[in-house]
């Protein structure tokens, strides 16, 4: 079913026309190429640490980095990094989920989709495994609608 969703998202991305079509197409291709590299690894059990920030929301508290444990491609544990304090599992993504999220966001044509809030460089992916290392999404000019994801470690 995940492959069907990926195919549908990819088709939608390539079918949608806009003034930013070449940029959207290259971003879609970048995400899809790295997703294919990730899938080719066949990793179902792994752990990663992620820092999620809300850079355009001055009123938001800083979120601590979290360790996410994945077994059989399902999140089985989420902990505040360094303390081991458990958190709720329901909103925590697998790497596959991050790819689906990125592709879905591209369909919405966000204001900015880049490596970080400070630059317009392309999102960064791990060269060997393909997982996203750093990406920033700003949906619009409104405040409190931007997210920075940074994977700090992967095992």
User: What pLDDT is stored for residue 20 in this prediction?
Assistant: 52
DSSP structure string for 95-135: HHHHHHHHHHHHHT--SEEESSTT--PPPEE-TTT--EEEE
* Domain region containing 116: 2-154
User: What pLDDT is stored for residue 105 in this prediction?
Assistant: 93
Q: How far is CA 100 from CA 5, 16, 94, 95, in A?
A: 8, 17, 10, 9
What is the C-alpha separation between 45 and 74, in angstroms, rounded?
Answer: 8
The domain tally of the chain equals 1
What is the C-alpha separation between 143 and 97, in angstroms, rounded?
Answer: 25
Q: What are phi and psi of 112, to 5 degrees?
A: -140, 135
User: What pLDDT is stored for residue 88 in this prediction?
Assistant: 92
Strands annotated E in 30-102: 46-53, 66-71, 74-80
User: What pLDDT is stored for residue 17 in this prediction?
Assistant: 44
Q: Report whether 135 contacts 49 (CB < 8 A).
A: no
User: What pLDDT is stored for residue 22 in this prediction?
Assistant: 56
User: What pLDDT is stored for residue 62 in this prediction?
Assistant: 87
| pLDDT tens digit sequence for 75-105 | 999 999 989 999 998 889 999 999 999 999 9
User: What pLDDT is stored for residue 9 in this prediction?
Assistant: 44
Specify the CATH number for the domain of residue 56. 2.50.20
List, run by run, the mean pLDDT of 10-residue segments along the chain (155 residues). 45 45 81 98 98 88 94 97 92 96 94 92 97 96 93 98
Q: Which residues does 109 contact at the CB level (< 8 Å), separation at least 6?
A: 16, 18, 20, 24
């Amino acid at each position: 079913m995940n492959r069907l969703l990926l195919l549908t998202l990819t088709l939608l991305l390539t079918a949608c026309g806009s003034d930013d079509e070449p940029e959207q197409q290259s971003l879609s291709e970048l995400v899809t190429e790295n997703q294919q590299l990730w899938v080719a690894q066949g990793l179902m059990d792994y752990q990663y640490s992620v820092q999620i920030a809300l850079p355009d929301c001055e009123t938001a508290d800083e979120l601590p980095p979290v360790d996410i444990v994945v077994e059989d491609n399902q999140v089985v544990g989420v902990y505040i990094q360094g303390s081991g304090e458990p958190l709720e599992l329901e909103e925590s993504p697998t790497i596959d989920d991050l790819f689906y999220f990125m592709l879905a966001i591209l369909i919405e044509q966000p204001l900015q989709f880049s490596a970080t809030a400070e630059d317009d460089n392309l999102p960064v992916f791990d060269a060997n495994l393909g997982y996203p290392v750093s990406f920033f999404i700003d949906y619009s000019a409104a405040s409190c609608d931007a997210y920075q994801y940074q994977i700090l470690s992967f095992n």
